[in-house]
Chain A
Amino acid sequence: MNRSILVSSVLHLIVIMITAISLPFLAKKPIDLPPIVSIELIQITDKTNIPFAPKAKKTIEKIKEKEKKLVSEQAPPKQVKKIKPDSIPFPDDQTKKIEKIKEDKQNPEKIDNEVKQVSEFEKDELFDPNNIAALIDKSKIEKAENIKKTNKVTQDQQKTADVSGLTLSEEDALKAQIFGCWSIPLGLPYNENLLVRIKLQLNPDGTVSQSEILDHARMNKPGQGFYKVLAESALRAIKLCQPLRVPTTGYERWKELQLNFDAREMLEG
């Protein structure tokens, strides 16, 4: 009897111990693992084209020099500045003396045709061939410099020339530049399609040799007058931004470039 009690209590004890040790583990909730995200590791050296630091420094210096030149070229003569436009007198006090407009109903007549004829005649004169030649000459010099530089292309960069498309940083540089040049006309109806697609033929130095509006037919459609205004503003932006900040290498990739100007985001926001 005594022995059986002992055996029983020992066995009970063992059972209790096992439960005491193992049960808390059972009580623990399984670890809540987040869903598995598969990550694909890819080599981006082929896709990005970040120049080496010393090279970048050189490029930046070159751009700075260029900017300096531009500033000195374009600064208006300083001694001429006498008055700010703000100080032009608002002709208020003068107007009190003026009598009431007597013939209000006589609307000034529009003689569109006559003047337009004159203007077309002048338009022909406006294209100054010498001038264009000068501009091209100037850009050729820049082009030559660029080519010299790209002759020392490393193996790594040579590879990138074969990849189509711009890298993110290249695209961002170009976008940022054009964002700054584009003055969006504010009167556009924001519930209309405000997308202007312009195809550019570029020279290696980033100047534009040809620009073409892809939805050209829309320009002259009735009720789409705003589209012309928008397209013109986009063309102005491209002109103002020249030369475009294009990558220094891989001319073949971006010699044709399409810019999609979309004003909707800005006008809605």
Chain B
Amino acid sequence: MLRILIFILVLPFKAFALIEVDITRGNLNPLPIAVSPLSIDEKSKKNFEKILKKKDIGSEISIVVENNLKTSGLFNPLNKDAFLQAPDIANLKPRFEDWNLIKAQALITGKVNYVDEKLRVEFRLWDVLAGKEMMALAFTTVPNNWRRVGHIITDKVYERLTGEKGYFDTRIIYVAEEGPKTKRIKKLAIMDQDGSNNKFLTLGNELVLTPRFNPTSQMVTYLSYFRNLPRVYLLDIETGMQEVVGDFPGMTFAPRFSPDGKKIIMSFARDGNSDIYTMDLENRIVEKITNHPSIDTSPSYSPDGKFICFNSDRSGYQQIYIMKSDGSNVKRISFGKGLYGTPVWSPRGDLIAFTKLHKGKFYIGVMRTDGSGERLLTENFYQEAPSWSPNGRVLIFYRETKTDDKGEGFSAKLWSIDLTGYNERLVDTPTDASDPSWSSLLSN
């Protein structure tokens, strides 16, 4: 008995249980990262200067990477003037203390070479705090692709550090607008995700609207007018070939690809009633999905292709609904105040982005696929048509400004915002722009 008593008394003093501390919070500050200019030898430098008319292609590529990282809002590229180590030495063996000193947590170094008239880029990602290499890759491509190399490097770094795929080696198609509001010329235009390499795809003779990328290839579907009737068209960006989708005795609009790129889903309106249809691009079989006297439009597939979200006024006001891809199990998911439109299913599958009109203001927001967790990301006088980045983290949309009394001062511009709602940016375009659509990653 006494022994047990002594044991019980002594036990708590002798046993040191392992102390556990729960860390449930952290900061969401951008990660400080140093992008060292890619080193380049004199010979390669001269060769590239001749081909690309760029003085130092190594530093140009690093600027592309740096800009990409900055616009993501998740990284804070550090000022190059504070770097203590020269690019050529840093690439071989970074002195981590030097990079630690300027508070960098990650470091990108690299080398550019001219090999057989091609551009060879090597890059490494270093964990400065752990003092080790996280990734090393090399690319060889034609010199003209140098910007894409910068985007691919960013994608790799982004994926390695955030755990999700990047969205930098992508393009955006949009409607370029010029001229006064009453006589607007609208052309299809395409550019890199960062606004460079802007190019017009149509001449502007016909009105074009709502271009949408095929999620699996560089194919685009859009709306154009034919004999004053809107029609859905297909356009292959690489070849420039275009064709009308189907021959419907009425208006077809709001086209979008299915996730596998084999079908187009769109609205077809006749006698004042519009319903949702799909069309198989291979065998051209048309299927009617909804059958309701109300206006059903703006369909968008879930990434697994099993569900469709769309817009309908069957409850009296325009709201967002989801249904199975065969049209059954229609369920309303938006119940907030105001009107909801342009639902777009995230490529990640977890959220639906939408435009909301409430009390004369336009909002871009997201909600879960069951309608819960509605979050409004931005509010403005007029904005709509959100389109997801391929990783489902950023939305691009367009915003119009008010015209003054003389009908001037009107402009339409592309904007992007990430899911946090804090990182809102103007996407620079040479002309006014609307209806953007984000492509999938060009390289995988």
Same complex: yes
- Bound complex: CA A180 to CA B23 (Å): 11
Does chain A have a CB within 8 A of B66? yes
Q: Is the CB of A82 within 8 A of B101?
A: no
CB-CB < 8 A to B13: which residues of A? Answer: 162
Q: Which of A219-269 contact B (CB under 8 A)?
A: 225-226, 229-230, 232-237, 239-240, 252-254, 256-263, 265-266
The answer, among B17, B101, B138, B163, for a CB contact under 8 Å with A225, is B163
Known: A183-B31, A185-B161. A259 touches B142 (CB 8 A): no
How many chain B residues touch the partner (CB < 8 A)?
86
B242 at the interface (CB under 8 A from A): no
Q: Do A229 and B12 have beta carbons less than 8 Å apart?
A: no
B26 close to A (CB within 8 Å): yes
* Most A CB within 10 A of own CB, among B78, B102, B192: B102
Q: Which one of A85, A110, A235 lies within 8 Å of B70 (CB-CB)?
A: A85
Q: Are A82 and B81 neighbours in the complex by a CB distance under 8 Å?
A: yes
Within 8 A of A (CB), among B372-407: 391, 393
- Asked if A112 is an interface residue, CB under 8 A from chain B, the answer is yes
Name which of B126-134, B270-278, B293-301, B320-328 contacts chain A. B126-134
B 109-159 contacts with A by CB, 8 A: 121-122, 124, 127, 129-134, 136-142, 144-145, 147-149, 152
B 15-36 binary contact with A (CB < 8 Å = 1; else 0): 1111111111111110100000
Chain A minimum-CB-distance residue to B192? A95
Bound complex: CA A125 to CA B77 (Å)? 27
Q: A110-B139, A125-B93 are in contact. Are A239 and B130 (CB under 8 A)?
A: yes
Q: Say yes or no: is A101 at the interface (Cβ < 8 Å to chain B).
A: yes
Stretch at the interface among B196-204, B245-253, B256-264, B335-343: B196-204
Evaluate contact between B79 and A108: CB separation under 8 angstroms: no
Check if B163 sits within 8 Å of A187, measured CB to CB: yes
Assuming the contacts A101-B148, A125-B93, asked whether A85 and B77 have C-beta atoms less than 8 A apart, the reply is yes
Main secondary structure of the interface of B (DSSP, over half): mixed
Pair B27/A91 contact, Cβ less than 8 Å: no
B291 within 8 A of A: no
A103: B residues at CB distance < 8 A: 141-142, 144-145
B47 at the interface (CB under 8 A from A): no
Q: Does A174 contact B (CB under 8 A)?
A: yes
Instruction: Give bound CA distance, A123 to B127, whole Å.
Output: 12
Q: Find B28's partner among A90, A186, A252, A262 (CB 8 Å cutoff).
A: A186
- Segment of A33-41, A47-55, A58-66, A113-121 in the binding face: A113-121
Say yes or no: A108-B149 contact (C-beta < 8 A), given A91-B196, A122-B92: yes
A99 to B197: give the CA distance in the assembly, Å.
8
Contact flag A182-B66 (CB < 8 Å), given A240-B105, A258-B21: no
Q: How far is the CA of A97 from the CA of B144 in the complex (A)?
A: 11
Contact A112 B137 (CB under 8 A): yes
Q: Inside 8 A of A110's CB, which chain B residues have their CB?
A: 137-139
Contacts of A45 in B (CB 8 A): none
- Residue A188 at the chain B interface, CB threshold 8 Å: yes
Which stretch, A13-21, A73-81, A144-152, touches the partner chain B? A73-81
Could you jot down 22 A-B contacts, CB within 8 Å? Answer: A74-B101, A76-B101, A92-B195, A96-B430, A103-B145, A110-B137, A111-B137, A115-B122, A116-B136, A164-B19, A181-B27, A182-B25, A183-B29, A184-B26, A186-B162, A187-B163, A188-B163, A229-B162, A229-B163, A230-B163, A235-B130, A252-B16
9 new A-B contacts at CB < 8 Å, known A77-B82, A112-B137, A187-B163: A81-B79, A91-B67, A98-B147, A125-B93, A164-B15, A166-B21, A186-B74, A257-B19, A261-B23
Query: A residues touching B (Cβ–Cβ < 8 Å)?
Result: 74, 76-77, 80-85, 88, 90-92, 94-104, 106-112, 114-116, 118-119, 122-123, 125-127, 131, 162, 164-166, 171, 174-175, 178-188, 199, 225-226, 229-230, 232-237, 239-240, 252-254, 256-263, 265-266
